[in-house]
Amino acid sequence: MLSRFPLISFRGRGPLLGLYLLLTCALLGCAQPDSGKDDTPVERRVADPRAGARNHKIDQVRMVVDVGFNPDQQRVRGTVTHYFRPLRSTIDSFYLDGPEITYKEVRLNGNLTNHDVTDGGIRIHPDAPRPWKQTDTLRIRYEATPRHGLYFTGWDDSTGHAPRQVWTQGQGPGPRHWVPFYDSPNDKLITETIITFDEEYRVLSNGERVGVEANGDGTKTWHYRMSNPHPGYAMMIGIGRYQVQRETSNSGVEIQNYYYPDQAGRAGPTYRHTAEMIDVMEQETGVAYPWSRYSQIPVHNFLHGGMENTTATVFSDEYYVDERAYRDRNYVTVNAHEIAHQWFGNFITMGRLEEIWLHESFATHYAKVIERKLFGEDHYQWNRKQERDQVLASLDRGPLPIRHTRAGSGRVYYKGSLVLDMLKDVVGKPEFDRVVERYLREHAPGNVTSRDFFHAFDEVLGQNLDWFFDQWILQDGLPHYDISTRMSDSSGTTVTEVTVRQIHETGPLTQDFRMPIVIEAHYEDGSSSCVREWIDGKKTAVRLAAREEKQVDYVLFDPGNRVLKRQTFQRDVQELGAQLQKASNMIDRHDAAEALRETSLSTKRGLLTNAFATEPSPHVRAEIVRQLAEDTRSTDLLETALQDSSSVVRGIALSRIPTIADPLVDDFERALSDSSYQNVETALDRLTTARPSRTREYLDRTASIDGQDYNVRLKWLAIRADLEDEPVPDELIDYAGPSYSFRTRVPALRALDKLDVTNETAAAHLLDAAAHFSRDLRGPASTILTSWLEEGERTLLESTYRSGEWTSRQAARIERHLEQ
Ligand SMILES: [Zn+2]
């Protein structure tokens, strides 16, 4: 699963810069790590009450789910047939999850059987104890109005604009809300889905489609079947009006891309690189795609970025984009992430919640590996930089290891992904790949634990890496290195002494770290010295010697920023300037630029300007623009930035330059037709604020641009409504309603709030949004609703609520607000 990742969006192929130097450096001084003062095994140093495998008495071998839906009532009617074996010598009862389900009939091996319905599910009491080594059949007929797990979108939109869909989200809520079964990943099973629905729609589920039959009553029945076991939470159904585009990977995997027929042109940019991604995963893991085919289906108001259902990924249609919107937001990272899960998560699966990193760290890591193959080294380094920022932002949740049920996405996704990079550096990439291949082959299609992964290194490489797994997976924290350098010349050599101190706080969950780290001294003549040294314990001294007397230009501690860390490294502006201009890794140049943030403009202006002129990476150029945006003496550079080939650089300039000086007006105006919709919106906003007398002219120039999810159109309508003599158009109010996705509704609701639009239609849209199943819509809408209540709109909201039609769940959510 991948949430909406706020940072990474692909902006274009960067040049491949210098290959990482790690391989050229010798590994020295390998000492055994300290045993640590705390004798408690590291895995038990932090309590994890939710950890552990769930008990179950039966092994579900195969499950056949036969369902139909009533979208207007948001209801499912179904029959599930379980083929199962007892897991004890005899069992006299067993339990299935299935909350808020109405159980109509329960038959074991064809006979009605005793059962108790509980809050969470159903307990079956066979007439006679069931012996093991025999397969029993349990058939349950049921109905449900699922609170979670199964969603009906667009059916309440009377305009017909919103796509009418039915779709599921298994991980998190669990399919238990619409089908009774033992819903836990420690019992993988073969699923078969039989779905009856209106024949005008198309239906997708897991595995092979083994049949579609017309029923002669306006409905069809679609039949899908998996051949191999997979986790129950990865079972899916997706229904809507779609067409299907087919392609094949080099190894012959059949790919089916579902697309909206009225936006067929978006399928190309959306699904770009899919086949290649599967090829890369097969090459990297050494294991062929584990399933018979792969499908992808966009849905409206999805709860996450994407979900890796086995053979059939569901993703948010905010990523279903045209060529132009692709620059601002695209499916690439989500696509790669969910494809990687087909191996890590679906083929091998955690049996217990604390092992979720075995899914998410690997999917995040391999998505990054895929993108590196597609877009090059600079792109990869930028992804790593953003992962590092996510990790640093997540540390305030308190000390928790990656392997913990409460570790949080900063650790489980991003820290874990970076830890796998470091593991590759420590053992070598060919070695790492060999271990992963063995680990996959040995445990698929079953369950895995962290120990299985760790053990594979012992087994395949004969290498005990407990020290690595302890410090990075089972304990918490990051090293904080304080680095100081001293240069000396003697008898024809230049020696650079580097002293590294570990200054982070240590405790039961964070020790001093032990890592091999590369240090480079770069000299003014362009040559360099390099050493790879174990940095271990409180203080390590490292010497780099040149064979002749040289002037040190700059020193890189950990070039390429391979080790996840904080660092305090006092360097003067000249050294940072040299690193910014000359370092071969984009990330080292970016780090040098960032380190200059607090330096005065007069000191850094010249070197930033020089670096900007030759810098190949848009992200480094953007960082330079960020620092010079307020500098009135850098107008030439800012003008160049506004014309930059990268929309990222143009975007930073458009948003950061505080006042639009005369020489820059033309460039801002040109941005009204920028290739990036985001930049058009920014330019329109900035220009109309800075030059209000020309507002109508700017509106005329952008009147025909909708943008992505109407971002430009919304800005345009809000600006026009703000002109004194213009009424708020119905169109703006409509964008806040159920015809549109949260990406449009949230900014529309905010614009209406800002314009003080408080009529009944706006109130109805606001109540609907505040009661929506999508948290991305409900959260911001709830905040606006609270402010309406505080600002005296209670009477309007209450009368709108009373006159509207609401489901019981919507009513409960709205009443909670109104009772505040
Ligand atoms: Zn994921």
Q: How much distance in Å is there from the Cα of 92 to the middle of ligand 1?
A: 38
Say whether both 93 and 201 belong to one domain.
yes
**pLDDT for 221 beyond 60:** yes
How many of the other CB atoms lie within 10 Å of CB of 426? 19
Q: How much distance in Å is there from the Cα of 296 to the middle of ligand 1?
A: 15
Say whether both 292 and 390 belong to one domain.
no
Q: To which residue do tokens 């950890």 refer? A: 51
Q: How much distance in Å is there from the Cα of 299 to the middle of ligand 1?
A: 17
In a domain, 453, yes or no: yes
Q: How much distance in Å is there from the Cα of 52 to the middle of ligand 1?
A: 21
Which of the listed residues 296, 323, 341 is the one where a domain comes to its end? 341
Q: How much distance in Å is there from the Cα of 465 to the middle of ligand 1?
A: 26
Q: How much distance in Å is there from the Cα of 3 to the middle of ligand 1?
A: 8
Q: How much distance in Å is there from the Cα of 409 to the middle of ligand 1?
A: 10
- State how far the Cα of 91 lies from the Cα of 85, in Å rounded to an integer: 10
Q: How much distance in Å is there from the Cα of 419 to the middle of ligand 1?
A: 16
Q: How much distance in Å is there from the Cα of 457 to the middle of ligand 1?
A: 24
Q: How much distance in Å is there from the Cα of 319 to the middle of ligand 1?
A: 16
Q: How much distance in Å is there from the Cα of 391 to the middle of ligand 1?
A: 16
Q: Which of 789, 790, 784 is nearest to 768 (CA)?
A: 784
pLDDT value of position 13: 34
Q: How much distance in Å is there from the Cα of 752 to the middle of ligand 1?
A: 35
> What confidence tier does 222 reach under pLDDT thresholds 50, 70, 90?
very high
pLDDT (tens digit, 9 = 90+) per residue, 783-810? 999 999 999 999 999 999 999 999 988 9
- Looking at the DSSP bridge assignments, the partners of residue 80 are 65, 140
CATH of the domain at 154: 2.60.40.1730
Q: How much distance in Å is there from the Cα of 355 to the middle of ligand 1?
A: 13
Say whether both 176 and 325 belong to one domain.
yes
| Buried/exposed code over 93-118 (b: 16+ C-beta within 10 A; e: otherwise) | ebbbbbbebebeebebeeeebebeee
Q: How much distance in Å is there from the Cα of 376 to the middle of ligand 1?
A: 23
Question: What residues sit around ligand 1, an ion, with C-beta below 5 angstroms?
Answer: 1-2, 360, 363
Q: How much distance in Å is there from the Cα of 281 to the middle of ligand 1?
A: 15
In sequence order, which ranges of 155-312 are alpha helices (DSSP H)?
267-271, 274-285
> What confidence tier does 34 reach under pLDDT thresholds 50, 70, 90?
very low
Q: To which residue do tokens 């304990």 refer? A: 475
Say whether both 441 and 324 belong to one domain.
no
Q: How much distance in Å is there from the Cα of 412 to the middle of ligand 1?
A: 10
In a domain, 289, yes or no: yes
- State how far the Cα of 705 lies from the Cα of 687, in Å rounded to an integer: 16
- Residue 18 corresponds to which tokens in the numbers above? 């210098």
Q: How much distance in Å is there from the Cα of 107 to the middle of ligand 1?
A: 37
Q: Which of 24, 22, 35 is nearest to 516 (CA)?
A: 22
Say whether both 265 and 320 belong to one domain.
yes
How many of the other CB atoms lie within 10 Å of CB of 456? 20
Q: How much distance in Å is there from the Cα of 123 to the middle of ligand 1?
A: 32
Torsion of CA 642, 648, 651, 653, to 10 degrees: -50
Say whether both 231 and 95 belong to one domain.
yes
In a domain, 682, yes or no: no
Q: How much distance in Å is there from the Cα of 229 to the middle of ligand 1?
A: 19
Which of the listed residues 474, 489, 506 is the one where a domain comes to its end? 474
Q: Using omega within 30 degrees of 0 as the cis cutoff, is the peptide bond preceding 15 cis?
A: no
Q: How much distance in Å is there from the Cα of 69 to the middle of ligand 1?
A: 28
- How long a stretch of residues is the chain? 820
Q: How much distance in Å is there from the Cα of 515 to the middle of ligand 1?
A: 28
Q: What is the average per-residue pLDDT within 344-361? A: 97
Q: What is the average per-residue pLDDT within 473-478? A: 95
Q: How much distance in Å is there from the Cα of 413 to the middle of ligand 1?
A: 8
Q: How much distance in Å is there from the Cα of 341 to the middle of ligand 1?
A: 7
pLDDT value of position 39: 67
**pLDDT for 352 beyond 90:** yes
- Residue 102 corresponds to which tokens in the numbers above? 């109405």
Q: How much distance in Å is there from the Cα of 114 to the middle of ligand 1?
A: 40
Q: How much distance in Å is there from the Cα of 175 to the middle of ligand 1?
A: 17
In a domain, 494, yes or no: no
In a domain, 416, yes or no: yes
In a domain, 635, yes or no: no
- State how far the Cα of 168 lies from the Cα of 119, in Å rounded to an integer: 22
Q: How much distance in Å is there from the Cα of 338 to the middle of ligand 1?
A: 6
Q: How much distance in Å is there from the Cα of 170 to the middle of ligand 1?
A: 13
Which of the listed residues 474, 497, 518 is the one where a domain comes to its end? 474
Maximum pairwise Cα distance, the chain: 96
Torsion of CA 32, 34, 40, 45, to 10 degrees: -100
Least-confidence region, from 2-16, 128-142, 731-745: 2-16
Say whether both 266 and 396 belong to one domain.
no
Say whether both 78 and 183 belong to one domain.
yes
Q: How much distance in Å is there from the Cα of 360 to the middle of ligand 1?
A: 5
Q: How much distance in Å is there from the Cα of 217 to the middle of ligand 1?
A: 40
> What confidence tier does 40 reach under pLDDT thresholds 50, 70, 90?
confident
Say whether both 180 and 265 belong to one domain.
yes
Q: In 3-state terms, what secondary structure has residue 510? A: strand
In a domain, 361, yes or no: no
Q: How much distance in Å is there from the Cα of 783 to the middle of ligand 1?
A: 29
Q: Sign (positive/negative) of CA torsion 424, 429, 430, 436?
A: positive
- State how far the Cα of 286 lies from the Cα of 20, in Å rounded to an integer: 24
Say whether both 325 and 377 belong to one domain.
no
Say whether both 306 and 157 belong to one domain.
yes
pLDDT value of position 5: 52
Q: Which of 290, 286, 143, 180 is nearest to 228 (CA)?
A: 290
pLDDT value of position 563: 98
Backbone angles phi, psi at 769, to 5 degrees: -65, -40
pLDDT (tens digit, 9 = 90+) per residue, 596-639? 999 999 999 999 999 999 999 999 999 999 999 999 999 999 99
Q: How much distance in Å is there from the Cα of 359 to the middle of ligand 1?
A: 7
- State how far the Cα of 787 lies from the Cα of 765, in Å rounded to an integer: 15
* Total domains in the fold of the chain: 3
* Domain enclosing residue 401, as ranges: 372-474
**pLDDT for 179 beyond 60:** yes
Q: How much distance in Å is there from the Cα of 13 to the middle of ligand 1?
A: 25
pLDDT (tens digit, 9 = 90+) per residue, 113-147? 999 999 999 999 999 999 988 999 999 999 999 99
In a domain, 276, yes or no: yes
Per the prediction, the chain carries an average pLDDT of 93
Say whether both 291 and 149 belong to one domain.
yes
Q: What is the CA radius of gyration of the chain?
A: 29
